[in-house]
Amino acid sequence: MAKFSKWIGGGLGWAFGGPIGGLFGFFIGSVVDTMNSDVNEAQSTQSGDFTASLVVLAAAIMKADGKVMKSELDYVKSFFIQNFGVDYTNDKLKLLKEVLSKDIDVNAVSQQIRQYMDYASRLQLLHFLFGLANADGHVDISEQELIYEISEQLGISENEYNSIKAMFVADNEQYYKILEIEKTATNDEIKKAYRLMAVKYHPDKVTHLGEQYQKAANEKFQQVNVAYDALKKERGIN
């Protein structure tokens, strides 16, 4: 218990008193009173805050289609092992198991995350959720709808939601959606959109979250480049 309490106190100080704090409250017991002071002290998103959000919303996505798939559990486990190591992962999987047994008010949780988490981190969070939904090779419509609901509560624009969705759910306008433009866009508009996206999704935007999240951001940055290269080839853009 001491190990979990230390992690929650250090990484989830801003969550106490809100819906995330309620979900994890059963796990911190008698140490709550001594840690409540962290709420007013937390001013910015740290790696622990981001991880807590992953655990809570991952549980919601895993239950969205009415069943928890082994591929989803493997996705979460692999993500945490690659980014944090085995011991840290074992702690988080125990937390995930407990949260999976709870009713999750997705709107309230997402609104709390929006209040305390910067925009670049929220985009990373959405990217993770789509990756989790796609763990079995298909993003179910129920998962898409829930992620869209989460996206709205996180304050993410519809264009940016569609951009991230297009990285996992292919259609004939996939590359245009990744660059957040219409298929009718001119060549100059495509170039301008690419420059804007390259800045927005540059890995340097999430340096405050640590190297583990820069890797995910880099993958998204690469997809922006792939989309632009495909449209250049299609349009004959120099």
In this predicted structure, the answer to whether residue 130 has a pLDDT above a threshold of 90 is yes
Q: Are 214 and 206 in contact (CB under 8 A)?
A: yes
CATH number assigned to the domain covering 170-238: 1.10.287.110
pLDDT at 30: 29
Domain ranges of the chain: 2-161, 170-238
Residue 52 sits at the vertex; the CA angle it makes with 121 and 45, to the nearest 5 degrees, is 40
pTM passes above 0.95: no
Q: Rg of the chain's alpha carbons, rounded to an integer?
A: 19
Give per-residue pLDDT as tens, 137-184: 889 889 999 999 999 999 999 989 999 998 898 777 889 988 999 989
Give per-residue pLDDT as tens, 55-91: 889 999 999 988 899 999 999 998 888 877 888 888 8
Consecutive H or E run containing 106: helix 106-116
Q: Which of 10-19, 110-119, 132-141, 211-220 has the highest mean pLDDT?
A: 132-141
Identity of the amino acid at 64: A
CA distances from 14 to 42, 72, 146, 215 (A): 6, 28, 24, 25
Consecutive H or E run containing 223: helix 211-235
pLDDT at 49: 60
